Amino acid sequence: MKEIDRLAALLFPMENNGSRVLDLKFFPGEEPVTVDEFCREVHAGFVQVDSGQSVSSTTFPEDLTQVSVDRFISAM
C-alpha cells in the first residue's frame, strides 16, 4: 500500500468508530520532501498519538502576527 493510501485510510476511515478530523494543519518546513515522505511522517505521528506514545492536543494557540498578502508574496 502506498504511503498516501495509508494516510488517507487513517484520516478518513470507512468505519468511523466515532473519530473525525475537525481541523488539521501542516506547516511547510525548510527542506523539500516528497509526497511519500510527507505521508509517512504524518502517518507515523498519528500512530504515536493513537498508541499513547505521544499526547494529543485539542487546542493550538495561534499567536501569529498578521501580514498582508501583498507583503507575504513580495518576500518570496
DSSP 1-15: --HHHHHHHHHS-SS
| Average pLDDT, integer, range 5-30 | 75
Q: 55 with 49: CB under 8 angstroms?
A: yes
Asked if residue 75 has pLDDT above 80, the reply is no
**What 3-state DSSP class applies to 42?**
helix
What does the pLDDT read at residue 18?
65
Where in the chain are the domains?
A: 3-57
- Percent of all residues in the chain with a pLDDT value above 70, rounded to a whole number: 87
Asked if residue 69 has pLDDT above 80, the reply is yes
What does the pLDDT read at residue 57?
75
Instruction: Give the other-Cβ count within 10 Å of 7's Cβ.
Output: 20
How many residues belong to the chain? 76
| Average pLDDT, integer, range 34-49 | 86
What cell numbers appear for 64 in the block? 501569529
